[in-house]
Chain A
Amino acid sequence: MLAASLMLTAACPADAGSLLKPRDSAPAILPVNDAFQLQPVLWRDGKLDISLDIAPGCYLYRDKIQVEVLEPTGLKLGRVALPPGELHQDEHFGVVRVFRQQLAVQHRVDHPPQRLRIRYQGCAEGLVCYPPQVREVTVESLR
């Protein structure tokens, strides 16, 4: 019954949200880890899969994305080819390329890296920008 009650409570988040919206109904600004969710990094069959889910209304700058190997030292990734992204006219920075919704990268590398450092940076359209993010992740190797 307790579980059922909890399910009932969780089943109407939209109603709860309407009650609990800020009074000025300003658009909600997400914490950075909700705006950009780095998914587990996988290596499988000689390919590295890196994926970032991007919340609606948010975007990542293409030229701010960097991937480097932490371990094993000496392993070179080479140039990680990113998708082209889409053009974005920025009032201050001109035309830039950005990613929306999802960034999915598949990069061929024969030997699996163990740890990576991934950098990215982005904004919530017309609201805020998030500082450059640095994540150090362990690669899940699926042989």
Chain B
Amino acid sequence: MSSSKKQILAVAALCFAAAGVGFGAYRYLAQPHSIDEPGGMAPEITLNDLTGTPRQLSEWRGKLILVNFWATWCAPCLHEIPMLMDMQQQYGGRGLQVVGAAMDEVEAVRIGAPRLGIQYPVLVGDSEIINAMQALGDQLGALPYSVLINANGMIVSRKHGEFERDELIQLIEQNLPTTGG
């Protein structure tokens, strides 16, 4: 092979490698935005409820669990909560369990949750909530963050920001346990 051909091949290989590195780097940087993909088995999460009693997510195993991370200082979270209450009312009998996880001071949630009319279980914490969010796939540290865990303990959806009603209904319908929990 002539030296000029070798040079061309070497340059082409370098270009290809560089493009691959660039594409890989971009994918890595873009990854936090691809948060709506499912993600394996949900780890065990233990958080205190409003009475200070430790509660484990596995307590609701067998149901479709919608863990909604929120806070009293988060306007989009407060906007979304009435819809989540509707979903609990509409689908609770068919095996949906909404669980609120508040990144907040206990007293603020003790006052805020009844004021919002939340009927589903509410857990609360500070760094514990951040750890729980990260364990459930959060990479942004932003609220609201919701994780849908099916009856077998598999994470089937994760989302930052509010659900659209139709979007959430579709997700719930697709993942309800067949026996109704």
Contact = CB atoms under 8 A, between A and B. Distances in A.
Contacts of B21: 6, 9
Given A2-B14, A28-B33, A92 B78 contact: yes
Contacts of B11: 1
Interface residues of B, number: 37
B108 to A, nearest CB: 13
Chain B CB within 10 A, most for which of A22, A31, A129: A129
Interface stretch (A43-51, A79-87, A104-112, A120-128): A120-128
A30 interface: yes
Contacts of A123: 74-76
Interface residues of A, number: 34
A24 B161 CA distance: 14
Interface of A: 1-2, 5-6, 8-10, 13, 16-17, 20-22, 24, 26, 28-32, 90-93, 121, 123-124, 126-132
Interface of B: 11, 14-15, 17-19, 21-23, 26-27, 30, 32-36, 71, 73-79, 103, 130, 139-145, 160-162
